[in-house]
Homo-oligomer: A and B are copies of this chain.
Amino acid sequence: MMYHINLLLFDQFELLDAFGPAEIFGKAPEIFTLHYYSRHGGVIKSAQDTQILTEIYASQPQHTNILLLPGGEGTRQLVQRADDINDIKRLAEEADYVLSVCTGAALLAKAGVLDGKRATTNKRAFEWVKSQRSAVDWVKRARWVKDDKYYTSSGITAGMDMSLGFINDIVSPEKAREISKRIEYIWHEDSSEDPFADLYEG
């Protein structure tokens, strides 16, 4: 089975939120195909001034589809744009799995697709993300959280741990460990261990 990893990029997205997971999924090309999308296609600029070429994200007929949403400063504008949020709602509902990194969870929350579900996000921006939607069961201490088809991670590098956790769940623990070794990444396998939660405690 081929899984399609559909990265939805937007201006001022956080570089590693998208490309940490892309590095991981890209190490198993026999399983995962990567696509770089944006709402209007063309050049998207990360918060680090990296310019990425993207395609327009229309409906994807393929299966299995995995929507991957990075976070970053750009989410502050996106949550205020009804057209973008409606698109994200539709794409998330169509997808077989949805993964968000850092404040990417704010986009899903705003779209209403996390209502009644457990989810996490960057602890540094926790209060802002929470303020987008109170109907979400926000988890304060977690490296990442899985609920149904939704995987949400804490800040930036936590997206790499979540991606390996996702591969652990849908492919195998062996594949997740093999990839972490290939990229010389010390995988933090325990999703509930969150060494950064206390840093931003009220």
Contact = CB atoms under 8 A, between A and B. Distances in A.
Given A15-B22, A20-B16, A23-B16, A182 B50 contact: no
Interface residues of A, number: 36
Contact of A50 (B36, B47, B122, B188): B36
A184 B193 CA distance: 12
Interface in A27-70: 34, 36, 43, 47-53
Interface core residue of A26, A181, A183 (most chain B CB under 10 Å): A183
One complex includes copies of this chain to the number of 2
A195 interface: yes
Interface of A: 14-16, 19-20, 22-23, 25-26, 34, 36, 43, 47-53, 122, 124, 154-158, 181-186, 188, 195-196, 199
